[in-house]
A and B are shown apart, each in its own frame.
Chain A
């Protein structure tokens, strides 16, 4: 039920994001979702891709600083209050959310949201108990 997310350390210099994207393009890796967290001097680019192993290899070979993190992908009803309904069970299970971001594409009628939490397993079972669909990695990579 866990999804592999790839993070890349980027200095705030023009052209660095382009270089990451070029590197992935050369490796034939497709980006499914991404977000950037930034400070004044640097940023962290977070990616969900179709072929995580290939992406890790290509980026490390080109000497980018990369790491892998486990996140979860949840189907969220695409209507007012949809995200609140998903956050409810996590709050009750005392799961702390580090960050979230959304997929561009939808999964059927629902939006797809990526959660990075401290307690991954606890979060998955809380969401499943509340009746939400947590997508397995394979399914997410191939959307």
Chain B
């Protein structure tokens, strides 16, 4: 196994010591410098020096996205603005954007984290890293960019969109590692095939895909069509951006870089920390960040921690790939449904394309879930009874896996909008 930073294989005992020391420093510093945290910590009766073990973390207050919005734009920064060298922000489509600031030391730490992820995906300084994440306020593009440069690889800062040009650059420059969202990777594969090319025309060996939940079936499809090894990368701008965790060659969970982030799994309804191995909401505490460090930030992502040691040799704990978010969970007639669950069912049916959309509506007082799928030439039958049988089969499989009845609508190819970043999987027309 190769790794980028020796801290990735630090023995557990020393890692726990490092975490405790950094946690203590972080909490005490936030108490002194961020009025928001001083107030919150006072409310739970905290005084500096109270952190004696990592167990004490569970007594600290949570931070939520709303806290970031209420302190918009710079209220949670822990250093004066003159020490901030970079600002990123979320798109703010559902309200005020969330803003994050980095010191120059933070930028170096972040680049180090991303370099670790590229090496975990099999990258070296010999690689040509094709960054098709968006550049700008979004952390994806610049995050991967700085990490790849620190590693010494050759970076192609293509950014998102203009998919035909992506394919041409990939062919002409011989990109070996592709970084983008999984849905965009599929879009690239599709456009490549339409341009009359296939995986034999490109040199990709690995993909670093993240920023949206995806299924194992979708991974296999991407690997097959682009001829690469796909690695799930996880991160969120509030915590740092991409580089919080990554799948190693074992592809059995993502290593969380614990020298920088302490993960917890909580019950999203009670806030209680769940026992090891249980599934719940992921919570992160920054312990190696200056510009903005968050205590127990609630990600709304659902996962579980895998405490067993990984055969790859990295000692850092793994998290299961995120299968959904507490806020993109649909409640259909009282049943919890995640788009990724529907995706997993669809991808098990041969010939169905991974492009799908869920439309939720309320007819009278009843929720109706329509699953839109595209009819590829491979599964198209000339006979209506065959097409109806296909619709029934999809509906039956979803019924048996998820326990809800759905209406399946067959669509023409390319009629479901293609993703150039995060795919839109759900359209909720209910007015509640």
Residues of A within 8 A of B341 (CB): none
Could you say which of B156-164, B169-177, B404-412 contacts chain A?
A: B404-412
Smallest Cβ-Cβ distance to A5: which chain B residue: B382
Q: B382, A65: Cβ atoms under 8 Å?
A: no
Q: B387, A66: Cβ atoms under 8 Å?
A: no
A-B contact count (CB 8 A): 49
Q: A64, B382: Cβ atoms under 8 Å?
A: no
Q: B388, A44: Cβ atoms under 8 Å?
A: no
Residues of A within 8 A of B412 (CB): 9-11, 16, 64-65
Q: A63, B413: Cβ atoms under 8 Å?
A: yes
Residue from B384, B409, B414 within 8 A of A44 (CB atoms):
B384
Does A92 sit within 8 A of B, measured CB to CB? no
Residue from A46, A65, A99 within 8 A of B375 (CB atoms):
A65
Q: B382, A44: Cβ atoms under 8 Å?
A: yes
Of residues 68 to 109 in A, which have CB atoms within 8 Å of B's CB atoms? Answer: 69, 98-99
Smallest Cβ-Cβ distance to B407: which chain A residue: A41
Main secondary structure of the interface of B (DSSP, over half): loop
Residues of A within 8 A of B384 (CB): 37, 39, 44
Q: B382, A7: Cβ atoms under 8 Å?
A: yes
Does B5 sit within 8 A of A, measured CB to CB? no
Q: Report the minimal beta-carbon distance from B32 to chain A, rounded to whole angstroms.
A: 61
Smallest Cβ-Cβ distance to B385: which chain A residue: A98
**A1-44 interface mask toward B, CB cutoff 8 Å, 1 = contact, 0 = none?**
00001010111000010000000000000000000010101101
Residue from A5, A39, A67 within 8 A of B377 (CB atoms):
A67
Residue from A11, A39, A63, A64 within 8 A of B411 (CB atoms):
A11
Residue from B381, B413, B415 within 8 A of A67 (CB atoms):
B381
Q: A67, B382: Cβ atoms under 8 Å?
A: yes
**B397-432 interface mask toward A, CB cutoff 8 Å, 1 = contact, 0 = none?**
000000000000111111100000000000000000
Does B43 sit within 8 A of A, measured CB to CB? no
Also in contact, A65 and B415, with CB within 8 A (given A42-B410, A44-B382):
no
Interface residue ranges, A against B (CB under 8 Å): 5, 7, 9-11, 16, 37, 39, 41-42, 44, 46, 60, 63-67, 69, 98-99, 116
